[in-house]
């Protein structure tokens, strides 16, 4: 550990060093088995006599704090008494705005027999071999320099081609901006397009993370209801400057925004001068209905910012996503990104570029679509057999989760504790409501649940719900 000498401290140098080391051991910063810096090195760094350091080490050894290892110097004694953790100093406190921010999921690392939370993928499906080859090849490129805040030209070109071909959007490499995920894209957009106090709109119910993110910018957020056709455009306040929507697979209820509703939303934005964030949530995974044209493709005024992520298609741990932005915003987006975290990781971008251009992403999606189609079918059928009559399963033509909603016969809070006791991790439907009376229910992800466990998981869920009074 780093040691210091205060020239204005009138105590002997040996006393200063002794008290620093003893305090570090007592409060756990140095633990049993930790090796101390050699006395010769400490003396050289501090510009003092080596004998001063050896005196300190000797005293600590005599008192049982240290023990010597032949040829290995001094280490903290393995028989040392339990450390007394240093009391934290808390003179600072967050602002009221920051304190009001609620985390959507505080137990992301929790484990259970059945992990049915949306957003979790099956690690067995990750293409480890292909990604390893691409990552190793990426190390042949220079990675010790800052890059373009918008992403490397190679990755932007590869993703623009891929997203144009696979999702039907209109995009060039110049319009594509590499991000650390969908949330990061929304954060950048909010920094560039709206000011604190501006009115922005989200779906109700909707994605709590985006709601909290927008509020953290000091924006006034309003919830707009959804129906079977998607966002109710007539309910958007005229003063709204930015609207966030998930038209391909509404989170959490699962409906697809109709073409007519998409055209109405674009017409509304043209009339009011507002911008639209189109989060193409789960659009890669469709099961029944034919896909509709993205808002971005239908947009004729440059008011739509298209946001995508690889968290669901590949891995959340890669922290990779993208947005397609009107050219007029790109200079400001670049400038904001540069002052926040400068640029995406260059090595990861190089690996992703090869992963896309070599066709690995397309092959991975074909494989996972087949797996997820089967898991969705099994979960849907199992819900029909095991779900109590007080709950309804909601149809969804896309995505990686199904929603179970309480009907009029069910009242009271969601029995999350009883469900967890049965070995299931699920997400709360009530948590997705922020502006109206919440409806109890659950979001059941099937992507992270191995196929043989899907039916047992729903059987356990049905048992837990049936046992609730």
pLDDT of residue 294: 94
pLDDT at 409: 66
Same domain (yes/no): 25, 57? yes
Query: Residue 301's domain is classified under what CATH number?
Result: 3.40.640.10
d(CA 458, CA 399): 18
Residue 273 lies in a domain: yes
Radius of gyration, CA atoms only, the chain: 28
Give alpha helix (H) positions in 235-320: 259-272, 295-298
- Write out the two tokens for 175: 């319009």
CATH value at residue 455: 3.90.1150.10
pLDDT tens string for the chain (469 positions)? 899 999 999 999 999 999 999 999 988 889 888 999 999 999 999 999 999 999 999 999 999 999 987 667 899 998 756 667 767 778 899 999 999 998 877 666 678 899 999 989 999 999 999 999 999 999 988 777 889 999 999 999 999 999 999 888 989 999 999 999 999 999 999 999 999 999 999 999 999 999 999 999 999 999 999 999 999 999 999 999 999 999 999 999 999 999 999 999 999 999 999 999 999 877 788 887 667 899 999 999 999 999 999 999 999 999 999 999 999 999 999 999 999 999 999 999 999 999 999 999 999 999 999 999 999 999 999 999 999 999 999 998 889 999 999 987 666 778 888 899 999 999 999 999 999 999 999 999 999 999 999 999 999 999 999 887 6
Please check whether residues 384 and 321 belong to one and the same domain: no
pLDDT of the residue at 290? 65
pLDDT of residue 108: 65
pLDDT score at 467? 84
Is-contact 440 413, C-beta < 8 A?
Answer: yes
Among 295, 326, 357, the domain boundary falls at 357
Q: Are residues 425 and 346 in the same domain?
A: no
| Domain assignment of residue 391, yes or no | yes
Regarding whether 322 and 265 lie in a shared domain, the answer is yes
Question: What residue has token string 């929790």?
Answer: 110
Q: Of 298, 324, 357, which residue is a domain's last?
A: 357
* Owning domain of residue 42: 13-76
pLDDT of residue 405: 95
Please check whether residue 87 lies inside any domain of the structure: no
Sign of the Cα torsion 383, 442, 394, 257 reads negative
Q: How many residues does the chain have?
A: 469
- What's the CATH number where 61 sits? 1.10.10.10
Q: Kindly state whether residues 392 and 252 are assigned to the same domain.
A: no
Contact 168, 293 (CB under 8 A): yes
Does residue 1 sit within a domain? Answer: no
93 lies in some domain: no
65, 149: one domain: no
Kindly state whether residues 235 and 333 are assigned to the same domain: yes
Q: Are strands 220-227 and 199-204 parallel, antiparallel or unpaired?
A: parallel
d(C-alpha 59, C-alpha 65), whole Å: 9
How many domains would you assign to the chain? 3
DSSP 69: E
Residues 236, 375 share a domain: no
Partners of 428 in beta bridges:
442
pLDDT of residue 296: 95
Question: Which residues have CB under 8 Å from 396's CB, separation 6+?
Answer: 249, 254, 255, 287, 402, 403
Closest CA relative to residue 126, chosen from 298, 346, 315: 315
Is residue 297, in this structure, part of any structural domain at all?
yes
For residue 327, give the 3-state DSSP assignment.
helix
**Same-domain check for residues 347 and 450:** no
Residues 462 and 313 in one domain: no
Residues 264, 318 share a domain: yes
The pLDDT value recorded for residue 469 is 61
338 lies in the same domain as 371: no
Q: Is residue 86 part of a domain?
A: no
Q: Is residue 335 part of a domain?
A: yes
| Tens-place pLDDT, residues 60-104 | 999 999 998 766 789 999 875 666 776 777 889 999 999 999 887
């Amino acid at each position: 550990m780093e040691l210091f000498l205060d020239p204005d401290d009138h105590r002997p140098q040996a006393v200063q060093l002794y008290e620093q080391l003893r305090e570090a051991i007592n409060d756990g910063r140095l633990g049993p088995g930790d090796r101390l810096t050699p006395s010769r090195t400490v003396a050289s760094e501090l510009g003092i006599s080596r004998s001063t350091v050896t005196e300190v080490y000797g005293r600590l050894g005599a008192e049982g704090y240290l023990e010597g290892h032949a040829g290995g110097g001094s280490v903290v004694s393995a028989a040392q008494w339990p450390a007394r953790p240093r009391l934290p100093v808390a003179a600072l406190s967050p602002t009221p705005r920051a304190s009001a921010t609620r985390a959507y999921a505080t137990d992301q690392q929790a484990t259970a027999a059945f992990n049915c939370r949306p957003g979790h993928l099956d690690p067995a499906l990750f293409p480890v071999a292909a990604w390893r080859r691409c990552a190793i090849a990426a190390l042949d490129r220079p990675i010790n320099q800052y890059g373009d805040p918008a992403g490397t030209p190679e990755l932007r070109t590869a993703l623009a081609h891929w997203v144009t071909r696979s999702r039907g959007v209109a995009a060039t490499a110049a319009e594509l901006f590499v991000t650390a995920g969908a949330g990061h894209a929304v954060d950048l957009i909010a920094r560039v397009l709206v000011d604190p106090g501006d009115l922005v709109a989200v779906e109700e119910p909707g994605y709590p993370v985006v709601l909290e993110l927008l509020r953290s910018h000091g924006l006034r957020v309003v919830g707009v209801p959804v129906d079977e056709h998607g966002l109710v455009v007539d309910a958007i306040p005229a003063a709204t400057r930015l609207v966030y929507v998930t038209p391909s697979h509404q989170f959490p209820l699962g409906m697809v925004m109709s073409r007519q509703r998409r055209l109405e939303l674009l017409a509304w934005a043209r009339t009011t001068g507002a911008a639209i964030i189109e989060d193409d949530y789960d659009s890669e995974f469709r099961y029944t209905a034919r896909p509709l044209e993205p808002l971005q493709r239908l947009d004729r005024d440059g008011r739509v910012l298209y946001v995508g992520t690889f968290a669901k298609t590949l891995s959340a741990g890669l922290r990779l996503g993208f947005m397609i932005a009107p050219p007029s915003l790109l200079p400001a987006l670049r400038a904001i990104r540069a002052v926040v975290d400068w640029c995406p990781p260059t090595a990861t971008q190089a690996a992703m570029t090869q992963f896309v251009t070599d066709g690995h992403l397309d092959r991975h999606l074909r494989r996972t679509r087949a797996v997820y189609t089967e898991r969705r079918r099994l979960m849907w059928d199992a819900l029909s057999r095991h779900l109590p009559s007080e709950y309804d399963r909601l149809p969804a033509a896309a995505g990686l989760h199904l929603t179970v909603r309480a009907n009029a016969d069910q009242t009271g809070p969601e029995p999350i504790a009883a469900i967890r006791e049965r070995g299931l991790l699920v997400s709360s439907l009530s948590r997705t409501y922020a502006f109206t009376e919440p409806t109890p229910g659950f979001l059941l992800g099937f992507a992270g649940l191995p196929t043989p466990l899907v039916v047992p998981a729903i059987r356990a869920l049905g048992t837990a719900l049936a046992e609730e009074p």
